Chains A and B, each alone.
Chain A
């Protein structure tokens, strides 16, 4: 064995001695999923809720369940090793979640720029910890733009879920511009952040 290979072997064995126990991928996935879903649920539990955003309770609950699925399954999909679904499946799922949020809005209320900005700030602020956690987990393996975007959408889905129950404004423009656009932008932001953060390993 050449000197270079011997050095590589020694470095690998030293790392093995340092971390003798493997950390299964699903531990990270579970932590992120619980965090993403937990943030949304906790905010709804802590903040006053409103029923004005949607016309019907059933659609409201269906949309809420969809958003929680995006948060939980998105976190798992972003971290799970192996091939991701195609980008079209991811775009389709994000589009479906967005469309469901817009369907059945009540049209009640209105908000100027400041009312809308409050929702955007709320969503961004509620995404900070989940997004930081997702970035930390993703940085432990090879960079993948699609995974980063999925992780970002999942991380901010908790905030979107919370807004779904706590925001009293039900106009299409408000929900679209101040709830959904920030959500999609968080997916892009996650992608941008991941590009700037190095990788601890090159594992797929």
Chain B
């Protein structure tokens, strides 16, 4: 239907839950690239992110009956992606980092177009604990509010702010004079 591209996420999700596969395709087209970018940043590997994107949207389809009517779609989607990334991280038990302690080159294919700056940000993000990295990537790079991040990671908003604040402090120290997060 021609009105699909203009519908908001929640309207699309409602149609998807009612059996409209085209609504799912519209949601996928709208969010999959950003979810892949997010998963690349938090996992540190484009290959891992590809698997995680598949797991994320597979979960969206399989568990669409758990989407609460009236809830916002984007936090729900990122909660699924975050859960998938955490589980993968637990299973591998190690960060994917280079010998220098940075995330691999493909990890930040970002809007930071300066290669030197990208490398510096990658290295700084890799130094953060997983929880702080999640909070910062979701807030700074994906543009989610602290309230939305709180619903994604299952914490209070103030707890998320503390995590992000600590992460930003570390980034400021590491990236002093190079980049202002």
Contact = CB atoms under 8 A, between A and B. Distances in A.
A12 B28 contact: yes
Contacts of B81: 202
A24 interface: yes
A204 B58 contact: no
A61 interface: no
A203 B33 CA distance: 19
B78 to A, nearest CB: 10
Given A83-B151, A202-B80, A5 B32 contact: yes
B50 A15 contact: no
A189 to B, nearest CB: 21
A136 interface: no
Contacts of A8: 28, 32, 50, 53-54, 56-58
Contacts of B41: none
B65 A22 contact: yes
B80 A15 contact: no
B178 interface: no
Contact of B65 (A2, A4, A25, A82): A25
Q: Which residue, of B55, B61, B64, has the highest number of chain A Cβ atoms within 10 A? A: B61
A16 interface: yes
Nearest to A82: B68
Residue of A8, A12, A19, A202 with most partner-chain B CB within 10 A: A202
Nearest to B151: A83
A21 B65 CA distance: 9
B63 to A, nearest CB: 3
B58 to A, nearest CB: 6
Contact of B54 (A7, A19, A82, A141): A7
Contact of A4 (B25, B53, B62, B71): B53
B87 interface: yes
A136 to B, nearest CB: 15
A202 B54 contact: no
A5 B33 CA distance: 8
Contacts of B54: 4, 7-8, 11-12
Given A140-B62, A203-B83, 8 more contacts: A5-B53, A8-B50, A11-B57, A16-B61, A82-B71, A201-B63, A201-B80, A204-B66
24 contacts: A1-B29, A4-B54, A5-B32, A5-B36, A5-B53, A8-B28, A8-B32, A11-B57, A12-B54, A12-B57, A13-B24, A15-B61, A15-B62, A81-B71, A140-B63, A201-B59, A201-B63, A201-B80, A202-B80, A203-B59, A203-B63, A203-B66, A203-B76, A203-B80
